Structure 1
Amino acid sequence: MTQTASHPGALAGVRILDMATVLAAPSGATLCADHGADVVKLELPDGSDALRHMQPIKDGTPLWWKVVNRGKRGITLDVRKPKGREIFLSMLPKFDVLVENFRSGSLDKWGLDIETLHRVNPRLIVVRLTGFGQTGPYRSRAGFARVFEAMSGFTNLTGEVGGSPLHSNFPLGDSIAGIFCAFSIAAEVARLRGNPDAAGVEVDLAATEALFRMLDPLPVEHEQLGQVRCAAGNRTSYTAPSNMYRSLDGVHFSLVASSQAVYVRLCKAVGRADLITDPNYDTLPKRVLNIDSLDNQFAEWFAAHRYVDICAQLEPYEIPFSKVYDITDIKADPHFQARQAIIRLPDADYGSVPAPCIVPRVMGRDMPIPRSGPAVGEHNAEVYAEFGISEEMLSALRDQRVI
């Protein structure tokens, strides 16, 4: 790994070539860019990446693209063409990581199989993020976040009892897979940094498995207890009370009292100390067993009080709860403001655009604000010049539709 002082952060000096499309794998590369990696975003010359055409779009400008691909330099290259493949392979020795998410076998078909990639760069980390992995009968299936969420068992946990399972209005499956992508890169970079003789690897990351990995208790509770966890509305089947409640003035808020100590404080806060020693509710297993009767009593109390009064009762007892925020609440909240949870990315079209802050924070390290995602081929001249490709050659490659 090279070291460059111009990119502060734990991944400074790491160079990543992100040729993935849409959301999951590119978001993983972006997380690395947030922490100092030099990420080059490779697209087809026609700018056909689906994320460029998904809402939100303003006056033809893809806003989602700007924030998801922040901190990257953008180039175009068609690796399916012989000249494009040649240029691609000539660049790989200068990169530490390649991120791709094409269907299994696609790169092989283009003459970019793992043996070829490692022949030109033996230490290359190749992260392949697909829906179902590089092996198995589903390896060539197409997939998007909702498919991953449904197949992993995640979606089966959402929705009302007896009703249809529910998807969120956000591709959470892609984001979780992206986090695993960033983790994979960081883990392998750490391995290579610790051993200058270590070889590169092929990382087989299945988005469906990434989601399933988050659901630790599902297999063991099924084997040992014969239980199949399913939707429970806004309640939980593993602790109580824990639900979405509604105040007298119509405010929805989430409250969790998982531990015995918090449960005791909650009972005192709402003037129901009798529930602490009630033999139906005095332990967590009993509370879960009698969740309906217990939860209804709290729901009735909350429904009879305004939210501001509920806050006044709960906060002195340090009860974990929160109003269900939308983006206007997040922007107005003094804690988010104090933490600068929303940062502004420098942007060529709008001057700057808002986006979530860099996560995690490292105490004593001020991370630079990344710029918004690049336009199609915005950094072609800059990046290709680093590989000795002249402007005249770039012009010829444009004429050939290679870039």
Structure 2
Amino acid sequence: MTTNTHSAGALAGVRILDMATVLAAPIGATLCADHGADVVKLELPDGSDALRGLQPVKEGVPLWWKVANRGKRGITLDVRQPRGKEIFLSMLPKFDVLVENFRTGSMDRWGLDIETLHKANPRLIVVRLTGFGQTGPYKSRPGYARIFEAMSGFTNLTGEAGGPPLHSNFPVGDAVAGLFCAFSIASEVARIRGNPDAKGVEVDLAATEALFRLLDCLPVEHEMLGQVRRPEGNRASYTAPSNMYRSRDGQYFSLVASSNAIFARVCAVIGQPALGEDPRFNSNPARVKNLVELDAKLGDWFGAHDYAEIAPRLEQAGIPFSKAYTIEDIEQDPHYIARQAIVRLPDPDYGSLPAPCIVPRIVGREMKVPRTGPGVGEHNAEVYAEFGLDTAELARLLEQKVI
């Protein structure tokens, strides 16, 4: 691992071997690539990663794969074959991090248990991202984002009151687990970087726990108050007003006025300043207790006015609000445009593809825009040459379907 104060990213010099599939763990490696890590994406020779088949796909080209695995070099290798396992272990000393998300026990069955991995590289950081962790009665269960979301308690907070819980039309569970994956890598790199005596570790990251970790107040709320939080539609049960409202012309927008000062400004906007002094609404606990009545008053006023009239009034009053954006709204919004929140990733098939910018921004550092994710085995010759495999050997491995 090297240190370079002149690098484009804080993780420059860190080498990551990403052998994970689909989305959660690969997102973590991608976030590290955004900040300078050299990430090599390892796939099976048949290119069977399920992310290559998830929509959006255009004329057989996996668009989600391209943006989700941006900034990585791609190789193929079947580590289940003896020669593949041998090559894999010979590569590990040159990597700082290994990321995998196979069902618990899979790597052990392939002869790649943690002891073997650390024998090959005692300083290796091994991040194992699974649905339920490396221990416990559910450790061998398969899992996807919606399973993590449901089991963590996250999904049960969405939906209409009295109705079924609702999933988002995006795998939030994968994204959250990916963030914890990147955090795990950065944390362990910070520990081991610059310390020649530091040893590698096994990071046991459970996606279900990652989501549950975000729900800080649920356990204490239950123990101390005897409450089990339930879906409330778009309404928040912990602060008020905080809801999604609809204007006369059908535009939905979110508004939050937790503090008394902001709520007083809302009351002024709707022409009912006395509401701010009403005992039912003059504090957040009172507003929460009477939130149905409060929302009815606000909903009636917003429903009688067009959004073009509502928005400037709220803006002028300094009230936090936003309409519910579509991707078209994001693309046209002057703030997103000013901050170049959508960047163009260089791509061999389409010239470039749009994707979210690198987050966070580091003031005074110009971050290089990464290219899109690699094709199946696109960088085999380049990467394997770094490990001493010549063209003839690669041809033999290809014929044997090892790569």
Q: TM-score, normalised by structure 1?
A: 0.99
Distance 1:71 1:7, change over 3 A: farther
Residues 1:51 and 2:51 aligned together: yes
Partner-residue secondary structure (3-state), 1:8 = coil
CA deviation map 1:223-270 (0-9, x unaligned): 000000010000010000010000011100000111122111111122
Q: How many Å apart are 1:209 and its aligned residue?
A: 0.1
Q: Measure the CA separation in 1 of the matches of 2:397 and 2:34.
A: 31
The answer to whether the 8 A contact 1:7-1:37 is kept is no
CA deviation map 1:308-341 (0-9, x unaligned): 1001211111100001000000000000000000
The answer to whether the 8 A contact 1:234-1:243 is kept is yes
Q: Which range moves more in the overlay, 88-97 or 190-199?
A: 190-199
The answer to whether the 8 A contact 1:20-1:101 is kept is yes
- The residue correspondences of 1:10-159 to structure 2 (distance < 5 A) are 10-159=10-159
Q: Which residue pairs with 1:250 in the alignment?
A: 250
Q: Which residue pairs with 1:274 in the alignment?
A: 274
Q: Measure the CA separation in 2 of the matches of 1:267 and 1:6.
A: 53
Q: Measure the CA separation in 2 of the matches of 1:198 and 1:4.
A: 19
Q: Which amino acid aligns with 1:265?
A: R
Q: Measure the CA separation in 2 of the matches of 1:252 and 1:70.
A: 34
Partner-residue secondary structure (3-state), 1:287 = helix
- The residue correspondences of 1:217-366 to structure 2 (distance < 5 A) are 217-366=217-366
Q: Which amino acid aligns with 2:266?
A: L
Q: Which residue pairs with 1:381 in the alignment?
A: 381
The answer to whether the 8 A contact 1:2-1:14 is kept is yes
Q: Which residue pairs with 1:171 in the alignment?
A: 171
Q: Which amino acid aligns with 1:287?
A: R
Q: Measure the CA separation in 2 of the matches of 1:312 and 1:109.
A: 62
Partner-residue secondary structure (3-state), 1:195 = coil
Q: How many Å apart are 1:195 and its aligned residue?
A: 2.2
Q: How many Å apart are 1:3 and its aligned residue?
A: 3.5
Residues 1:203 and 2:218 aligned together: no
Q: Which amino acid aligns with 1:319?
A: I
Q: Which amino acid aligns with 1:139?
A: K
Distance 1:7 1:51, change over 3 A: farther
Q: TM-score, normalised by structure 2?
A: 0.99
Q: Which amino acid aligns with 1:302?
A: F
Q: Which residue pairs with 1:372 in the alignment?
A: 372
Q: Measure the CA separation in 2 of the matches of 1:67 and 1:298.
A: 41
Q: Measure the CA separation in 2 of the matches of 1:269 and 1:109.
A: 65
The answer to whether the 8 A contact 1:249-1:307 is kept is yes
Identical counterparts, % of pairs: 73
CA deviation map 1:77-119 (0-9, x unaligned): 0000000000000000000000000011110110100001001
Q: Which amino acid aligns with 1:268?
A: A
Q: Which amino acid aligns with 1:24?
A: A
The answer to whether the 8 A contact 2:176-2:210 is kept is yes
> Which structure 2 segments of 5+ residues have no match?
none
Q: Which amino acid aligns with 1:190?
A: A
Partner-residue secondary structure (3-state), 1:127 = strand
Q: Which residue pairs with 1:395 in the alignment?
A: 395
Partner-residue secondary structure (3-state), 2:47 = coil
The answer to whether the 8 A contact 2:331-2:337 is kept is yes
CA deviation map 1:1-60 (0-9, x unaligned): 224589521100000000000000000000000000000000000000000011110010
Q: Measure the CA separation in 1 of the matches of 2:78 and 2:256.
A: 51
The answer to whether the 8 A contact 2:14-2:38 is kept is yes
Q: Measure the CA separation in 2 of the matches of 1:378 and 1:186.
A: 27
Q: Which amino acid aligns with 2:208?
A: T
Q: Which amino acid aligns with 1:110?
A: W
The answer to whether the 8 A contact 1:270-1:313 is kept is no
Partner-residue secondary structure (3-state), 1:22 = coil
The answer to whether the 8 A contact 1:7-1:38 is kept is no
Moved over 2 A (4+): 3-7
Partner-residue secondary structure (3-state), 2:228 = coil
Q: Which amino acid aligns with 1:240?
A: A
Partner-residue secondary structure (3-state), 1:228 = coil
Q: Which amino acid aligns with 2:306?
A: R
> Which structure 1 segments of 5+ residues have no match?
none
Q: Measure the CA separation in 1 of the matches of 2:341 and 2:64.
A: 18
Q: Measure the CA separation in 2 of the matches of 1:310 and 1:5.
A: 49
